[in-house]
Chains A and B, each alone.
Chain A
Amino acid sequence: MNNLKKPQKKKVLLMGKSGSGKSSMRSIIFSNYVAKDVRRLGATIDVEHSTVKFLGSLILNLWDCGGQDAFTETYLTSQKSQTFSDVGVLIYVFDVESRSFEGSNPRDLLTYTAVVSALAEYSPSAHVFALVHKMDLVQNVFRDQVIQDRTLAIQEYSGVFGKRLKVYGTTIWDQSLYKAWGDIVKSLVPNLHIIDGYLHDLAKETSAEEIILFERATFLTVTNVTSELGECNPYSDRQERLSNVIKTFKHSLSKYTHSSTASHPFTEIAIKAPRFNLILARLTNNTYVLVILPPGDLEIELSRFNIMAAKDRFVELDIMGWAARDTEKLEGKSNGRIKDGR
């Protein structure tokens, strides 16, 4: 039983043609770069390994695989088993501007096919996410069409992963990046339903229209609870917009305080507006919680109190790791990814 208290390790492969933007997105999501900083990055030589702790329960082993032809060649030959075994997730990045995507010689897709078949051989249960990146270079009106077309093409070349594959259009210049990475990481967090449960409890104690749990360092969404009223909100991209804008604020904060971004930059942001109250508060070592409430001074004070009260429960999870907690609560149930409905 002891091993259940240990966080789960997941290997994440980041692959795609050189210059497609792999290191750029990784630096923004995990290393506190802002979009304009990525120009400083050089081409990745071989594989850059990094380890990222996500919540208390998940350790991501990121393999940022340099995409120049010579490197790709070795991943598919001499380093094949080493590269493709034990993979939890493959993130394959396509440059939307690439000239070798379609046509008589669709090199991007052919390389991709070779990669997914190697993956099918060594890690058949892995998840595959395809990101069509640099969407900012496509004019707004054409974006949906481009994504539709590319999705079909990529699916066709995905072999056994074709059905489970998820495709996202992304750019480092807006929240689309946070949408994609939020979903990727969510597919890996063990026992998300337990966290969900606690969040629902918290929701019941407040008059919240929406509660969102964010991971502290990346500000990616872990999970959320939305009331019936909240479901009517016409802005469906609000979670990733928040991730994006808070991340930028955090970046300025760390410049301002000269502190590492790993530390807690602030305790709480509160906004009192005519139509809503917002509290974004540090919940545990690894999380921030966002609560959207009806307007009025009383609401905000009450909720602050409820968040404080809920803290202990979440903190307990933080320390023990969610996996351990899971076995206590759901004895006899398997420890698989329950949230995963695909």
Chain B
Amino acid sequence: MTIKAPYALQFDRASVRFPGTATYALENISLQVAPGELLTIVGASGSGKSTLLRCVNRLVELCDGRIEIDGVALESFAIDPLRRTIGYAIQGVGLFAHLTVAENLALVPESLGWPRARIDARIDEMLATVRLDPQIYRRRRPRALSGGQAQRVGIARALMAYPRLLLLDEPFGAVDPILRPQLQAELLGVLRAARTTTLFVTHDVDEALLLGDRIAVIDEGHLRAIGTPRALLDRPPDDFTAELLCGDALLHEYRRARLAVREQSR
């Protein structure tokens, strides 16, 4: 008999309804994420992607169903300590403008009571990981960073305290298409090295296909499909997923070819 390791994250018929709205923002979402897995979440604007992420760190509460982390129900954790173990980075406004890069990065480790020397060493390590020279960037304020640099600092902050889960909400939304591939590759490298279980929201289908071990397709609060890029591209389970992921015949061919290249490079 084998004992199955718990999922890093599990949604069980989770639903969300915001007060004063007639429809569910999320309805009956069930999915499992394995430890170390990177799940990308795609869908149209307003489909509920951000809401799905925000349930995990309880910025949004479920009205029905449940979520488990490492096999433990979400409500059984005290909320602030739980949040300190979940990295969260969002597009644009995530960094505090009145704090330097180093001060932004130190916030969570300070709350965890790390000694100063350990925090400083980790700041240097994380800045180097996201390819920002600590000597130059430690003392910068967010104003003095480019969009791409700010985004990297945001991801570094989310990873500072070795989170058990990482939630990224369109982290590259504000980054130009020239820099994007580089940041995507860097992020993959960082996440592989840290083996951090990650939910990555994007409305860029190619980004979702490129980064995700698996992809979840959300449409109007419903989970339409979930599977590996290969499975979803080869056999999309419904018309909506086919339309979104495969596009027209030419785009479909192109995406499958890119996926083949990616599979080989692994």
* A-B complex is real: no
